[in-house]
Amino acid sequence: MDAGPWMDDVTLLTPGPTPIHPWAAAALAWPMRGHMDDDVFAYNDAIVADLKRLYGAADDAFTCLLAGSGSLGMESGMANLLEPGERALVASNGVFGERMAEMARRVGADVEVVRAPAGTPLDPDEVRRAALARPPKVLAFVHGETSTGVLNPLTELTAVAAEVGALASVDAVTTVGMGPFAMAEHGIDYAYTGSQKCLSAPPGLAPVAYSKRALEAVAARSTSVVSWYADVLGMQGYWLTGDGGRLYHHTVPIHLHWATGEAIRAALFEGLEARAARAAGMAEAVLAALAPLGFAAAVPAAHRLPTVLAVTLPPGVDDVALRGRLRVEDGISLAGGLGPTTGIVWRLGLMGEAARVRPYRRLIEVLARRFDGPEALERFDEACQRLGLVDGAVPSRSHALVRTSGLTPA
């Protein structure tokens, strides 16, 4: 096929997918191996260990990559942890909380949903009242609601799950990999993300983590897991060495394993605290620059998701038309609102390689020209300088391996 517009560089600032990290991009050109090859098993073992660090999981947790998007991670949790008729309490304040509830219904669970208005955080007191009235087997919620840019109170909600003895299932799609995540400390039993989000790997994998208690709950089921493909017990046969060795489950996407493993390693090498600071600093610089143009933060700072910055548009701006012009004329890809925020906000991705000075300086430069606000670029540059935000050179992978998994450099 001849080269087409899909070969052009685009400034990608959506809340997923994100620009691919250079280590992940390089790994896509590694040689192919069979899915039952010892090289693949050795690399997967390193991924398992790195994912435990990424999630802050206990040593007896089970981590792996599912061959599907983050939505498969969501569905897999519901399919494994819930049997028909068992009770699930879903706390929802956006599109992805509602998706959780729908997936729980489809596996036959008795589902109750506690809702908060879009753009506001979940209320732990309301969730607690519902959980005490009818204790659920699973309490599920989204940590960072991508559709609205709201960060939900993780500690308080997992405390509710612990109080009623429920398994805590957490959608960590926009949080894991861009800051510390304390799965074991907070008593989280299942968590998942998508490879294309904070990790800046290609789409197509869902890194997941099960606690020991969650695995025991799956093993104690009286019915088979409704999804053969996502059955965690079957996945363990492939990812862990048993008495009979590794067991074939399905053909895993080898190159996505290579690339996602490298992206995880890059995140750990940079440091999760450093990545959190980078996202927070970029959000501050972007807001400072956009303010004179008429944009404003859509979510109060106390509940603002660091990795998806939701901003309201200036009065009279046609969301779809402006984003369309930015894409076609300036090569900048942005995401609008979802559900009730459609046409009202932009959702700016500050995950992984998107949370860098260069791409956002390009956005501010273009918007400053379109809105006749040259001071916007000055404010952005000043904020970046004040916050110490600089796009440094990508460190060599060989040096990073010594500090992360200890693998021999390729």
Can you spell out the DSSP letters for 73-127?
HHHHHHHHH--TT-EEEEEESSHHHHHHHHHHHHTT-EEEEEE--TTS---HHHH
Question: What does the alpha-carbon distance between residue 68 and residue 188 come to, in Å, rounded to a whole number?
Answer: 22
Give yes or no for a contact between 141 and 92, defined as CB atoms under 8 angstroms apart: yes
- The size of the chain, in residues, is 410
Give the chain's domains with CATH numbers. Answer: 5-15+272-387 (3.90.1150.10), 22-268 (3.40.640.10)
Give yes or no for a contact between 25 and 9, defined as CB atoms under 8 angstroms apart: no
Residue pLDDT tens, the chain, 410 long:
567 787 788 999 999 999 999 999 999 999 999 999 999 999 999 999 999 999 999 999 999 999 999 999 999 999 999 999 999 999 999 999 999 999 999 999 999 999 999 899 999 999 999 999 999 999 999 999 999 999 999 999 999 999 999 999 999 999 999 999 999 999 999 999 999 999 999 999 999 999 999 999 999 999 999 999 999 999 999 999 877 789 999 999 999 999 999 999 999 999 999 999 999 999 999 999 999 999 999 999 999 999 999 999 999 999 999 999 999 999 999 999 988 889 999 999 999 999 999 999 999 999 999 999 999 999 999 999 999 999 887 787 765 554 454 444 34
Give yes or no for a contact between 185 and 163, defined as CB atoms under 8 angstroms apart: no
Tokens of 399: 């040096």
Element (H, E) at 226: none
Instruction: State residue 294's pLDDT score.
Output: 97
Instruction: State residue 405's pLDDT score.
Output: 46
Give yes or no for a contact between 93 and 67, defined as CB atoms under 8 angstroms apart: no
**Is pTM beyond 0.75 here?**
yes
Instruction: State residue 241's pLDDT score.
Output: 87
Burial of residue 119 (CB within 10 Å: 0-12, 13-18, 19+) is buried
Question: What does the alpha-carbon distance between residue 309 and residue 287 come to, in Å, rounded to a whole number?
Answer: 9
Q: Which residue carries 């435990």 as its tokens?
A: 52
Residue 272: how many other CB atoms lie within 10 Å: 19
Question: What does the alpha-carbon distance between residue 81 and residue 167 come to, in Å, rounded to a whole number?
Answer: 8
